[in-house]
C-alpha cells in the first residue's frame, strides 16, 4: 500500500464529521439524506483501508462495502419516496416544520 493507513483514516474521519454536521444542521430533508450518504461513504472507506492494510486475502471488506452501497441505495429510495409523499401533503420538506407527531 502506497498511502499510509492513518492518512486514509483521517480523510474518512473528516468525511464522517462533515456528514454528521450536515445531518444535524440541515433543514431540508434531502440535504439530510445527502449527509447520510457521506457518512456511509466514510464507513466504506474505512472498511477498504483496513482490509487493504491488514492484508485480507478473500476480499471480505470489499464485499461488506458493496453490501453497504446496496443498503444505502435502498435507504435513499425509501427516504426520497417519504420526502415526496410529505411534500405532497404539506408543501414543505423542512425537517423542523414537520412536527405532526410532536405532542
Partner 1 sequence: MPQIVGPFELAAKAAFYIVAAGTLAGAWAAVAARNLFRAALGLAVALFGVAILYLFLEAEFLAVAQILVYVGAILTLLVFGVMLTSRIADPAVPRWNRQVWAALALAAVLGLGLAHLLAHAPWAVHADSAPVKLPVLGKTILSTYLLPFELLSVLLLGALVGAIFIARKDPE
Site for partner 1 in 36-55 (CB under 8 A): 37-38, 41, 44-45, 48-49, 51-55
Does 96 interact with partner 1 (rule: CB under 8 A)?
Answer: yes
Contact between 42 and 12 (Cβ < 8 Å) = yes
Could you tell me the CA-to-CA distances from 75 to 8, 39, 40, 49, 81 in Å, in that order? 26, 13, 11, 24, 10
| Among 32, 40, 34, CA closest to 16 | 40
Task: Cell numbers for 46, please give them.
Answer: 474505512
Considering the complex, state which of residue 74 and residue 100 has its C-beta at the smaller distance from partner 1.
Answer: 74
Min dist CB 85 to partner 1, Å, is: 5
Considering the complex, state which of residue 24 and residue 103 has its C-beta at the smaller distance from partner 1.
Answer: 24
Considering the complex, state which of residue 74 and residue 101 has its C-beta at the smaller distance from partner 1.
Answer: 74
Does 90 interact with partner 1 (rule: CB under 8 A)?
Answer: no
Please tell me the number of Cα atoms within 13 Å of 76 on its side-chain side. 16
Site residue total, partner 1 (CB under 8 A): 74
Amino acid at each position: 500500500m502506497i498511502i499510509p493507513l492513518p492518512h486514509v483514516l483521517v480523510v474518512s474521519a473528516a468525511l464522517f464529521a462533515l456528514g454528521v454536521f450536515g445531518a444535524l444542521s440541515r433543514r431540508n430533508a434531502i440535504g439530510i439524506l445527502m449527509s447520510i450518504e457521506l457518512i456511509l461513504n466514510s464507513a466504506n472507506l474505512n472498511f477498504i483501508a483496513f482490509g487493504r492494510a491488514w492484508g485480507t486475502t478473500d476480499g471480505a471488506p470489499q464485499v461488506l462495502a458493496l453490501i453497504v452501497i446496496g443498503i444505502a441505495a435502498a435507504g435513499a429510495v425509501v427516504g426520497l419516496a417519504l420526502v415526496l409523499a410529505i411534500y405532497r401533503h404539506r408543501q414543505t420538506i423542512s425537517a423542523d416544520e414537520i412536527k405532526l407527531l410532536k405532542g
